[in-house]
Amino acid sequence: MLGEIQKTLKKYFGYTSFKKGQEKIISSILQQQDTLAIMPTGGGKSICYQLPALLLPGVTLVISPLISLMKDQVDALNNLGIASTFINSALSQREFEDRMYLASKGQYKLIYIAPERLESERFLDLLRNLSVSLIAIDEAHCVSHWGHDFRPSYLSITPFIDRLSHRPIIAAFTATATTDVKQDIVSLLALRSPGVFVTGFDRENLTFTVRKGVNKSDFITDYLSTHKNQSGIIYAATRKEVDKLHEYLNYKGFSAGKYHAGLSDLERNEMQEAFIYDNVDVIVATNAFGMGIDKSNVRYVIHFNMPKNMESYYQEAGRAGRDGEQGECILLYGAADLHIQKFLIEQTLLSPERKSNDYQKLQSMVGYCHTPQCLRKYILEYFGETDVTETCENCGNCNDETELTDITIDAQKIFSCIVRMKEQYGINLVASVLKGSNIKRIRQLRFNELSTYGIMSESSVNEITDLINLLIVEEYLYVTEGQYPVVRIHHKAVQVLKGNETVMQKLQKKKEQVKEDSGLFESLRTLRKEMAEAENLPPYIIFHDRTLREMSMHCPTDRQSMLAINGLGEAKFEKYGQTFIEHIQKYVDEHDITPAAVTSAGSTDNPNKDKAEKIPSHMITYELYQEGKTLKEMAEEREMTSITIQNHLVRCAQEGYEIDWNGFIPAEYEKTIVQTIEQIGAERLKPIKDALPDEINYFAIRAVMCKYGF
């Protein structure tokens, strides 16, 4: 069976190996076992039911919440040579009848349906003529009241299954599930002794960053200017915020769309398709956009406002980098964000218990925005992972690219002005007084007679407002709730006024503009876009960016080398392979390139591989190690923590590079460490550390593991 699974994976999907957890989940389903799989967005959930569908007799039903997702998935499957269809409210009665007739004749291996369809007696009657082997439930967290996206229609799934003449295998999939939600999924979907697989929540290819107290509009325009021609999503909390930002970005000359529930169905569909088909680079949206969007080449997700909970944030941020390429997730936290989310919770008709739960989740989100620890660690521990490493070397807190500036004097000016205004006025009026603005209200209140009037005249009102918002975020100030919020000082500010404490502002170091992809990769992107337009398909359904990058690296110019590319199966080769081969051959001839001898996907001996390609960070560390530098010297030269350098060396060893571990292992404890690992096991570091003398650090343990191959 294993050989058949591998053969099917390569033939249809173009991969020679599985992602983490996929093989076990697929095996569980094929062994006729109910299955619950909790996998991160981009972790390859779809293959976990699509591949079994090919190997099982009869048809697989896929319950999916969104029409747009169904269409994307079905288009992609048919493009792979897997006969599939969807049944939803977008079909006419004639189309529905035709598809059900073809299904009864065994024409489809997968049928996607909306959960609302399960309440139809007519649909149930038609299904009785089908041999249903598997029911796959996507976005299974929607069945739980405690989930972040509860949908009552999901409660109709179990009664529907109970009425079938033959109970099929049930497989449930979700990307985010706390312990309560996981228990609800098993219970409410009536899974029978299910195999439960949690492949981990980590998305290693994503970088997480929180920016506090910045001018959000300025940040967005700067970021988009340095990430041109890249697909991105910007989430905002309200429709009003979406409209305002969308208008602003288009005024600035960016190619932007928008999406929220206030638009008509036609407008939403047009905006969504413009984004999916790469006709706009960025879409500004509320959380109404995105669930089930399968666009693989989203390179960044920016949250203009803090979301209501970690589940929502991680699912939305996880729409970046679904193709495995690098993605960036940035949360812009401002002073008003907490008030917005509290207001939205209060506007709901939830029970007091549910509201209390929502407030607790909101507080965890605030904690994420303020934590000084590794952001990835915070996320993973929220979802219940244990023994998470202290640093990830791939988040804004671990790779702090900010520089500190002393703003104590400006902070004292602001605090003094607020006190002199009796802490009874809003941010804008305080900023105007500090600026020395000559407005009527200031004169009426005689604030132009205050000693703080005009003491920040060298700054603009917007700059002063930004600074006040930063001081609110850092909890030196706070804003009252209500229709007319006023700004007041916290006890922290008193110590600053007395001169006992300083206030430091983190300023982001200027980054060089990201260079746009060029050469063969960009040429292949253009070819893909042309072919996609001809077939009326999203470009990523033809090939993912990752597949095009491999082509541009390896330059395959024959069938064998083209089929060695990841993500390129036989069906896609038959449709597109020769066209891409001819395009690559022409490029190779024009640029005098010797094609790579590709023996397997991901390997090459191409001497012309792009020399400008960025050297992996851990390999730069390895070069310093080969020069004889100490851990401390490497950390100082690279401006990284010692733990990051240690992680680099371990990774190098795992990739086969030679490391002399003796220099990192205290000789007098080496035997003790080995015996302890043999006794406890090498699965987790903390129990080993706890059993050893305090002077033995984690790196010494990891060094022993690498040396002895634990």
Q: At what angle do helices 631-638 and 642-654 cross, to 10 degrees?
A: 110
Beta bridge partners of 170: 135
Closest to 148 (Cα-Cα) out of 286, 312, 319, 305: 312
Asked if the model's pLDDT at residue 147 lies above 70, the reply is: no
In three-state secondary structure terms, 171 is strand
Lowest-pLDDT choice from 264-278, 360-374, 605-619: 605-619
- Mean pLDDT value of segment 436-446: 92
2-198 and 404-508, same CATH topology? no
CATH class, domain 404-508, is: mainly alpha
DSSP type of residue 639: T
Helix (H) or strand (E) holding 69: helix 67-79
Asked if the model's pLDDT at residue 71 lies above 70, the reply is: yes
- Mean pLDDT value of segment 377-383: 89
Superfamily of domain covering 2-198: P-loop containing nucleotide triphosphate hydrolases (3.40.50.300)
* Per-residue pLDDT, 180: 81
Q: Which two tokens stand for residue 702?
A: 């990891």
> Phi-psi bin for 630: left (phi > 0), alpha (psi -120 to 50), beta?
beta
Does residue 233 or residue 334 have the better pLDDT?
233
* Per-residue pLDDT, 331: 96
* Per-residue pLDDT, 404: 77
| pLDDT tens digits, 608-650 | 334 334 467 778 888 888 888 888 888 888 877 677 788 788 8
Does residue 51 or residue 677 have the better pLDDT?
51
Q: Where are the domains of the chain?
A: 2-198, 206-400, 404-508, 519-590, 617-708
148 band by pLDDT with thresholds 50, 70 and 90? low
- Mean pLDDT value of segment 461-476: 85
Mean pLDDT over the full length of the chain: 85
* Per-residue pLDDT, 651: 79
Q: Which two tokens stand for residue 207?
A: 């970088």
CA atoms of 388 and 380, how far apart (whole Å) = 7
* Per-residue pLDDT, 634: 87
Q: Which two tokens stand for residue 700?
A: 């010494």
261 band by pLDDT with thresholds 50, 70 and 90? confident
517 band by pLDDT with thresholds 50, 70 and 90? very low
Three-state SS sequence of 118-143:
HHCHHHHHHHCCCCEEEEEECCHHHH
| pLDDT tens digits, 570-617 | 889 999 999 998 898 888 777 766 554 433 333 334 433 343 344 677
293 band by pLDDT with thresholds 50, 70 and 90? low
* Per-residue pLDDT, 706: 86
Which CATH number describes the domain made up of 206-400?
3.40.50.300
CA atoms of 228 and 335, how far apart (whole Å) = 29
- Mean pLDDT value of segment 465-472: 85
CA atoms of 612 and 614, how far apart (whole Å) = 6
| pLDDT tens digits, 100-127 | 889 888 899 999 998 888 888 878 887 8
CA atoms of 489 and 76, how far apart (whole Å) = 56
* Per-residue pLDDT, 127: 81
CA atoms of 412 and 492, how far apart (whole Å) = 12
175 band by pLDDT with thresholds 50, 70 and 90? confident
| pLDDT tens digits, 531-571 | 998 888 889 889 988 899 889 888 888 888 888 888 888 88
What are the strands, taking DSSP E only, across 201-297?
A: 206-212, 231-235, 256-259, 282-285
* Per-residue pLDDT, 592: 65
pTM of the model: 0.66
* Per-residue pLDDT, 602: 38
* Per-residue pLDDT, 513: 47
| pLDDT tens digits, 304-328 | 999 989 988 998 898 898 888 889 9
* Per-residue pLDDT, 411: 94
C-alpha pair distances (Å), 432 with each of 455, 633, 705? 11, 49, 62
**What percent of the chain has a predicted confidence (pLDDT) above 70?**
92
CATH code 3.30.2420.10 for 519-590: no
Asked if residue 413 lies in contact with residue 434, where contact means CB atoms within 8 angstroms, the answer is yes
